[in-house]
Amino acid sequence: MELFDYFRSSASYRVRIALNLKGVDYDLNPVSLLANEQQAARYTSLNPSALVPGLRTEHGMLGQSVAILEYLEERYPEPSILPGSAWEKAKCRELALTVACDIHPLNNLRVLNYLSRQLGVEQTEKTVWYHHWLTLGFQTLESLLKSQDHPFCCGDQPTMADICLIPQLYNARRFELDLSPFPTLTRIEQHCQQLEAFRRAHPDTQPS
């Protein structure tokens, strides 16, 4: 497998965590978003969305991080990144999609670039925008998770929910969001960061 990846992309970060958890070997092909390499024909011919990540498999190219996570779960079912029952799986996906659908799309690089380049939004206003959507999403997650006492979002093993949460917390720190109102999320983060699969996927360990 070949992963087309940008080291600070939270969506790419998710896929790196999942590949590591499942012990899948892959080749890393960095795509610099700052240099607009995602717009180059060599990449858009493979992934027309011009987004990362892209995972090239024996079947072809697959984009969209959540679709990749689902593919990896089906292709490499052990260890699973979804809990046991149908209800538990649905609740896990609810948590994951709160990040992947409600937070991340509003705060990714192309949205931030559009705010500044097309709409003339200043950096301080962009930060307000970024913090607003992070806070709303994290408030939802904190409320959903605060009553559970497991080390991870959905039990005693990391799942798709943790895979989506940890990169978003990394981004929150990059943009200097106060995380003190979210003790459950940061507690879960501490447990995740004890695992080698999460540590090896961290942006600071990747080629830039």
pLDDT band per the 50, 70, 90 thresholds, residue 119: very high
Residue 28 and residue 191: Cα distance in Å, rounded? 26
Q: Which domains does the chain have, with CATH numbers?
A: 2-79 (3.40.30.10), 86-198 (1.20.1050.10)
Q: Is 56 helix (H, G, I), strand (E, B) or coil?
A: strand
Nearest CA-CA partner of 134 in 190, 178, 96, 191? 178
Residues of the chain with pLDDT > 90, as a percent, come to: 98
Predicted pLDDT of residue 36? 92
Count how many residues are written for the chain.
208
Residue 27 and residue 86: Cα distance in Å, rounded? 33
CB atoms within 10 A of CB 164: 31
Mean pLDDT along residues 16-20: 98
Contact assessment for residue 46 and residue 4, using Cβ atoms and an 8 Å cutoff: yes
Give the model confidence (pLDDT) of 126-145 as tens digits: 999 999 999 999 999 999 99
- pLDDT tops 80 at residue 208: no
Give the model confidence (pLDDT) of 83-92 as tens digits: 999 999 999 9
Predicted pLDDT of residue 158? 98
Predicted pLDDT of residue 207? 84
Structure-token pair, residue 14:
């998710």
Give the model confidence (pLDDT) of 173-201 as tens digits: 999 999 999 999 999 999 999 999 999 99
CB atoms within 10 A of CB 80: 15
- pLDDT tops 90 at residue 148: no
Predicted pLDDT of residue 165? 98
Nearest CA-CA partner of 134 in 167, 161, 172, 170? 172
